[in-house]
Amino acid sequence: MTLRLILVLASCALLRLCSDATAQDAAPAKATAAFSFADVEYQHRYSHQDLHEFTPLDQPDLKRWSDMVTINFYPSVTDGEGLAKVANAVLANYKTNGGRVIRTNSVPMTKETPAEHLIMVLFRRPEFAEATFIRLQLNGDTGASTTYSRRVYGEKSGEVISEWLKNKGLATEKVLMKWDGLAALELKKADEPVFETRTLTSWLQDFAIGRNPDMDKHHAAERAIRSIGNDVLPFLVKRLEVSDEPSEGAQDIQTVSAFRALGTEAAPAIPALIQCLAPSYDAAGSDLSKPEDMLRNQKSIQAALALQAIGEASIAPLTAALRDKRHQIRFGAAMALEDVARGDNHLGVVEQQVVPALIKALKDENRNVRWRTARTLGDLHAAPEKSVAALAERVRSDQDESVKIYAIWALQKFGKQAESALPDLQKATTDVNPVVCDAAKKAITAIRKEIE
């Protein structure tokens, strides 16, 4: 997924060249031309903040385009001096990111027209080569840049783009410097990502909910999210944070669907999602009868599902979070690992990394972290030779009844693999707490039944 690092002094063409990821094709919207450039009609594809991207009508895929026009506005630039500073900064940015500067030019200010600047850069990457032409000018009283990019793919892309520059570079420069379409465009700052004229919020609402969903809309939303890329992550995380704003369960489900669409490409959001797990600690101490407690629990569960959607990349950060200074984070990490680490695909990682970390967490100073960890160990049902011994120790020595009950329950989940824990379970049948006694009796019966 393309990571758009939107810098005030960088053009979108540069940002895309810094990307090293891919995504599936985006679903094209109904073709509507926003303007014509070099006798080719261009359609609006994407906007965020003061950045706007356009590709030809027959190039809807933002991950494999050949021609792109990008328009950036610089609201803080209001005069020629400010524009020159932007031009110098953009030029430096290109050089820093491996661009070979082909040509620069500045058109002096006259009584009728302000100064303008031109930068031409060639980028070469293993998978493509790209020629970028950027024109910086004042659009009214605001700084702006218009960037035309030509991209060629394949092993011989360097040769092809060099030949293209030789044949069409000068003509393209002239078209760009004479293009007068900027003033006619009515482009507004987009507070959230906009893809093919629709906001991110609008696309999220198309994810399937309830019975008889429109799966065509769902799949189109998936493609849109993949095309927007990592720009969606701050917005998705914010939707999973507990706030005073009203939130519906459907909204959170749709948010998780967006994370599923991104998969591993959403990995940069992992640290923020782990923070979203913390409210589950307070929710665990309530009966969820209050709306605010239900909200905390719901948000944390959906954050855990988002981490699950990201996949194995979430496991190491979550195991590390079991050692966090805040008990709320340790609790949330234990809760999330129940979903994230489950499944045969992660078995090796679970046995080598997750189980040892959870076993250490069974001795956490916080009782809630201990019982939540015991529950996760039972659900994961991994590395029985290590897990069973650690759980049996909790049954034998822990002073908290909730920890004992969950440890007993977890041992029952191991079935006959927990045979070695039967003596400790038998002793627990005489515990002073009747709930512990009943849980131990049920576990013994279940384990022996499997052994027989």
pLDDT in tens, 251-276: 888 999 999 999 999 999 999 999 99
Residues 241 and 135 occupy one common structural domain = no
Look at residue 318 in the predicted model and tell me its pLDDT. Answer: 96
Residue 14 has pLDDT above 50, yes or no: no
Decide if pLDDT at 421 tops 80.
yes
199 falls within a domain? no
Q: What is the domain extent for residue 447?
A: 218-451
- pLDDT one-digit tens code per residue, 357-374: 999 999 999 999 999 999
Structure tokens at 149: 């990019």
Predicted local distance difference test score (pLDDT) of residue 191? 79
Within a domain: residue 315? yes
Is it the case that residue 412 has pLDDT exceeding 90? yes
Instruction: Indicate if the pLDDT at residue 215 is higher than 60.
Output: yes
Whole-number pLDDT of residue 18: 38
Q: Are residues 183 and 239 in the same domain?
A: no
Range with lowest mean pLDDT among 8-12, 150-154, 396-400: 8-12
CATH code where residue 413 lies: 1.25.10.10
Q: What is the mean pLDDT of residues 110-123?
A: 88
Instruction: Evaluate if residue 186 carries a pLDDT over 80.
Output: no
pLDDT at 344: 58
| Average pLDDT in the chain | 86
Average the pLDDT over 10-23 and give the result: 38
pLDDT score recorded for residue 26 = 40
Record the tokens describing residue 87, joined without a space.
Answer: 């031009």
For residue 67, pLDDT beyond 90: yes
Is pLDDT larger for residue 277 or for residue 297? 277
Q: Which pLDDT score, from 0 to 100, does residue 286 have?
A: 55
52: β partners: 47, 71
Q: Higher model confidence: residue 369 or residue 15?
A: 369
Structure confidence at residue 334 (pLDDT): 95
Count of domains in the chain? 2
The yes-or-no verdict on residue 135 having pLDDT over 90 is yes
pTM over 0.85: no
pLDDT at residue number 187: 77
> Does 1 fall in a domain?
no
CATH of the domain at 21: 3.40.1000
Instruction: Check pLDDT > 90 for residue 287.
Output: no
Percent of the chain with pLDDT over 70: 87
Query: For the stretch 142-174, what's the b/e string if a residue is b when 16 or more beta carbons lie within 10 angstroms of its beta carbon?
Result: bbbbbbbbbbbeeeebeeebbeebeeebeebbe
Answer with the residue of higher pLDDT: 24 or 221: 221
Q: Examine the domain organization and report whether 20 and 140 are in the same domain.
A: yes
**Of 366, 376, 377, nearest to 418 (Cα)?**
377
Residues 178, 321 share a domain: no
Task: Looking at the structure, tell me whether residues 185 and 247 fall in a common domain.
Answer: no
Structure confidence at residue 62 as a pLDDT band (50, 70, 90):
confident
Q: Which two tokens stand for residue 389?
A: 């011994």
What is the average pLDDT across 277-300?
Answer: 68
CA distance 213 to 206: 9
What is d(CA 53, CA 197) in angstroms, rounded to the nearest whole number?
A: 11
Same structural domain for residues 28 and 115?
yes
Query: Using an 8 Å Cβ cutoff, are 52 and 44 in contact?
Result: yes
Residue 208 pLDDT > 90, yes or no? no
Query: Residue 6 above 50 pLDDT?
Result: no
DSSP collapsed to 3 states, 73-140:
EECCCCCHHHHHHHHHHHHHHHHHCCCEEEEEEEECCCCCCCCEEEEEEEEECCCEEEEEEEEEEEEC
- Whether residue 255 sits in one domain with residue 131: no
Establish if 250 belongs to a structural domain.
yes
Dig out the tokens for 446 from the structure: 């279940």
Q: Do 164 and 230 belong to one domain?
A: no
Are residue 21 and residue 155 in the same domain, yes or no?
yes
136-153 residue pLDDT tens: 999 888 899 999 999 999
For the cut 50, the answer to whether the pLDDT of residue 1 exceeds it is no
Does 294 share its domain with 167? no
- Name the burial class of residue 124, with classes exposed (0-12), middle (13-18) and buried (19+) by CB atoms within 10 angstroms of its CB: middle
